[in-house]
Chain A
Amino acid sequence: MTVLLEMKERLKLIYSKGEPFLLPLVKFLLAFITFNTLNGRIGYMTQLNNVAVVLIVALTCSFLPVGAMVFFAAVFSLVHMYTLSMEVALVGGCVYLVMYLLFFRFSPGDSLVVVLTPLMCLWKIPYVVPIVVGLLCGPASAVSVGCGVVVYYLVEAVIGSASNINTMGDEEIVGKIRIVIEALVSDKAMLVVIAAFAVTILVVYFLRRMSIDYSWTIAMIAGVMINVVILLIGDLLYDINISVGGALLGSLLAIVIAKIVEFFRFCVDYSRVEKVQFEDDEYYYYVKAVPKMAVSVSTKTVKKINSQQTRAAGGRGSASRHTGRINQPARSEERNGADRGAAGERGASRRAVSGERVSTGRDTAGERQTMARGRGGTGRGQRNPAYPQSRSNVTIGSTVRQDTVRNVREDAPEDFEELF
């Protein structure tokens, strides 16, 4: 679990660092997959099937809001329908317009759901949608999922009617419209799936918001069960030929994906739940606090110490003689570890003679060890110029001088390069 949590933190770190590039990339990939899937499924206009066209439109979508992807996907499907028959495109356009006017007005932020729902249906994993949407979105998203289901069944109706439409002449306008509408309206499976998905979303949403332990897991399992039950009832009532095995396998897959979503979105430790009770003038409070599971990612920090500038007001020769490593750290970097270690020991012995504290600061033991290793010293009693100290009085023999040691920390970024 710790490894997974570390991986999650790393992913979050990567995302936060590369968000300006990752977000357009994800949008581009999603748009590319969507348009390609659409072309592969309908694909009546050969010019649109060209990869270059898809790439250009997908690139355009990557810099536009997600709503643009919905728009272009609708345009793609309408153009394909138009190639099949103008009447089919007319019906398709009417359906899109009705959905836009009636439903998108209430949930404009769910464009992604409208794109992903038909995509998941085409990939034969539709049961993932209501569970994940119920976990991540609100109850209003049921409308968007319903619209996505309608789009899928519209595409399927067009594909199913294509052979009949192709055999009809240009003068049979009403006949073509009738075929498409009939294929869409008479499909009871669409209504059953919309109802099942809407109920599932509501159940998952309300259960996962309840103040019970493992609410997300309970919500997803209950959602999956209700989804399957409604689909089976619909199958019994309307004979829509839903594969029971497919529904169960799809539901299992939905749980797996929902667990992954839960891990990234709602990773809490129910074994450390705290329940507290207190009151103020107006209320009694019964608070249940569930701690999140999180680990800090270990980062590698490489500190490169370039130079140390010292200001010696007087007695420079003496100071140099006694504390040459302080005044000339650039040269000391070039020396080998043994030499530096010896120098450290010399410094230690001199400080012992002076009897005064030489190194002060807020540095931690870890930093001391790190710095000591870098200088080849032992880290104990060694005068290390890289110690984070702002100003220290150094007494060497009879010479007292104010030695300013530069602070090699975040506030002096020119002195080191920080990598992670």
Chain B
Amino acid sequence: MLNEERVILMTRMASYEMGEGRENVKIGNYFRSDYIAIQVIKAVISASIVFAIVFSLYISYNFEEFMRQLYEMDLLAFGRNVLFWFAGTVLGYGVLAYVACSWRYAKARKSLKHYYQNLKKLNSLYNEM
């Protein structure tokens, strides 16, 4: 005999598992600190690559001027300046990634909690039969 409530619950859960649940289950497999640490490391690597790309484009854009001033400029100050911008970019993006990942982890855990509650409910519905 079909149990309508059970079918509805299972359909919702299957839909969740196929959609956003898949990503949430992946996130839920990590401890909070591990997940955030991995994401922040990824963000730092991404920011470093982006900085390298943008710096390259900047140098290409100002290539002639840069070459002209190369022998006159204070290379140490230039390097310090570049490092400052690099640190700022990486730090800023890292903090942004930390906040975003913390929020995403909390959201995923909340969603998974609801999913597990539904799972328990489904189990109890089966036990009633």
Contacts and interface: CB of A to CB of B under 8 A. Distances in A.
A106 B99 CA distance: 11
Nearest to B58: A181
A178 interface: yes
A106 B50 CA distance: 15
Contacts of A178: 60-61, 63
B61 A177 contact: yes
A174 B64 contact: yes
A369 B99 CA distance: 66
A97 B56 CA distance: 13
A178 B73 CA distance: 22
Interface residues of B, number: 17
B93 A102 contact: yes
Interface in A79-127: 91, 94, 97-98, 101-102, 105-106
B61 A98 contact: no
A291 B57 CA distance: 56
Given A102-B93, A106-B100, A177 B46 contact: no
A376 to B, nearest CB: 36
A178 B59 CA distance: 10
Interface in A151-182: 174, 177-178, 181-182
B53 interface: yes
B63 A174 contact: yes
B41 interface: no
A101 B57 contact: no
B106 interface: no
Interface of A: 91, 94, 97-98, 101-102, 105-106, 174, 177-178, 181-182
Kindly list the 9 A-B residue pairs having the minimum CB-CB distance in the complex, ordered from nearest.
A101-B46, A174-B63, A177-B60, A181-B61, A94-B53, A98-B50, A101-B50, A178-B61, A106-B100
20 contacts: A94-B56, A94-B57, A97-B50, A98-B53, A101-B46, A101-B49, A101-B50, A102-B46, A102-B47, A102-B93, A105-B43, A105-B46, A105-B97, A174-B60, A174-B63, A177-B60, A178-B61, A178-B63, A181-B57, A181-B61
